[in-house]
Chain A
């Protein structure tokens, strides 16, 4: 019995993976024409990006402040508090900014995307488009997917900058770490490779989270319960996939 359940779980997992892969192929095909619709695209970057700014900046500030506190507490044991800038910058650029931004994106923009598209499905708006000879993949899904993919690295960059400000606020302003040492050590130790790692991660997370959000909404059962389930799945799947991909990418960059 338990074997059967396990098999069913694996089969369902493979089926979903296949469904997402096929959806991605169709979506990518529609992304090229969607790029030629700047108005639609800018609107979606605004929805996914600009509307997430407050939560991203607030979280970035607090995460940076915690890094400043914890880093100072740890580094002072070894008498090297000047390295706080480096520690905060590397922690933010390589790990915390891409991962936390992706998790927040899944919770704010991802759920909004899924429920919006799911409700369009439930209220026949997508079917109406098909009947009007307008492909909803091109008009609805592709711009939203691209908007998320473009917004994620921008949000990650903003998270990093605000986070560094938060770390500096605690380390330099509150704990008295030398301002010159904080910034010069950071400048000396953080290289292009570290920045690239963060950018690559944020791009990959952007693709994964936007794809999951759009796929779940597009394939949601056309009922209130179906949309609610799809929204929940978006958050859960995006979070797990983000953490899994983070491990894979971290290992790849070592």
Chain B
């Protein structure tokens, strides 16, 4: 296991987000983490990347127990990880080339000529070598995400994490990003974790899937197994039904009572 999350509990302001979550990402495979909005998918990524600490449970990344690591050890571990943010999170005062070069410049003493070749190689891999001199503000959403992907892989990470990589993309960009995720995983052997609520896209590329619901893993297995699940919560999510365990209506007083109460007052 490259990422091993066991029995994780986490609460914010007394409100439980996770009540015993177990997620494992195996070496060289694509692991999908799905769930409705607000189920804590991004929070789980924050725990895996040691941005926040779990209240209880154990989180191991690349064999290291995050709870036992100091600040410098966490930074050393992060050099072995890459993450693609939903909005790309490119540094807006640097151009595309410098954005991709940023982690290399900050974390290594490689000579400039080597950095140049390395960055061009990664930009070529995402098809944006020609956009090296553009500023982030000049890129479309799909291009920004591809640049962010080039930046995420420039240090040759062992684990690559994608946070909602399919949100807000046109069909062409969506196809490109899906192909790139699959390609990075197969060509480079990177252990990949993809957090998304786009069931169809994730089911296409994921080897293993987890469905989070109400602070726990509601279902786990290959995407096909999840689709065949007889759990109402899993079925509602996989088929996108309007009503089910996750209700369409936010809790409210009786509709008729509330309507007529307004007339009477």
Contacts and interface: CB of A to CB of B under 8 A. Distances in A.
A-B complex is real: yes
Interface of A: 120, 123-125, 127-135, 139
Nearest to A132: B103
A227 to B, nearest CB: 14
Contacts of A128: 83, 85, 89, 91
Given A127-B51, A128-B83, A134 B107 contact: yes
A138 to B, nearest CB: 9
B164 to A, nearest CB: 12
B92 A123 contact: yes
A133 B87 contact: no
Given A123-B92, A133-B103, 7 more contacts: A124-B89, A125-B91, A128-B89, A132-B103, A132-B106, A133-B76, A139-B106
B78 A124 contact: no
A9 to B, nearest CB: 22
A131 B107 contact: no
A133 B92 contact: no
A111 B219 CA distance: 48
B106 A130 contact: no
Given A127-B51, A128-B83, A134 B89 contact: no
15 contacts: A123-B87, A124-B87, A125-B89, A125-B90, A125-B92, A127-B85, A127-B89, A128-B89, A130-B51, A131-B78, A131-B81, A132-B102, A132-B107, A132-B155, A133-B107
Interface centre among A123, A129, A132, A135 (most CB of B within 10 A): A132
Nearest to A122: B87
B85 A124 contact: yes
Interface residues on B, range: 20 to 34
Given A127-B51, A127-B85, A134 B91 contact: no
A29 to B, nearest CB: 12
Interface in B70-108: 75-76, 78-79, 81-83, 85-87, 89-92, 102-103, 106-107
Nearest to B79: A133
Nearest to B49: A131
- What's the dominant secondary structure at chain A's contact region? helix
Contacts of A139: 106
Contact of B102 (A124, A127, A130, A134): A134
A154 B112 CA distance: 35
A150 B83 CA distance: 36
A134 B51 contact: no
A168 to B, nearest CB: 41
A55 to B, nearest CB: 22
Contacts of B75: 133, 135
A194 B149 CA distance: 57
B106 A134 contact: yes
Contacts of B51: 127, 130-131
A120 B106 CA distance: 18
B103 A134 contact: yes
Given A123-B92, A125-B91, A127-B51, A133 B78 contact: yes
B97 to A, nearest CB: 16
A135 B103 CA distance: 11
Contacts of A130: 51, 78
A39 to B, nearest CB: 11
Nearest to A126: B89
A80 B90 CA distance: 63
A133 B107 CA distance: 8
A124 B92 CA distance: 11
Contacts of B49: 131
A89 to B, nearest CB: 41
Nearest to B78: A133
Contacts of B87: 123-124
B142 to A, nearest CB: 17
A239 to B, nearest CB: 28
Nearest to A130: B51
B94 to A, nearest CB: 10
Give the 3 A-B residue pairs with the shortest CB-CB distance, closest first.
A124-B89, A128-B89, A132-B103
Contacts of A129: 91
B135 to A, nearest CB: 14
Contacts of A123: 87, 89, 92
Nearest to B99: A128
A133 B87 CA distance: 19
Output the residue of A125, A128, A129, A134 with the most chain B CB within 10 A.
Answer: A128
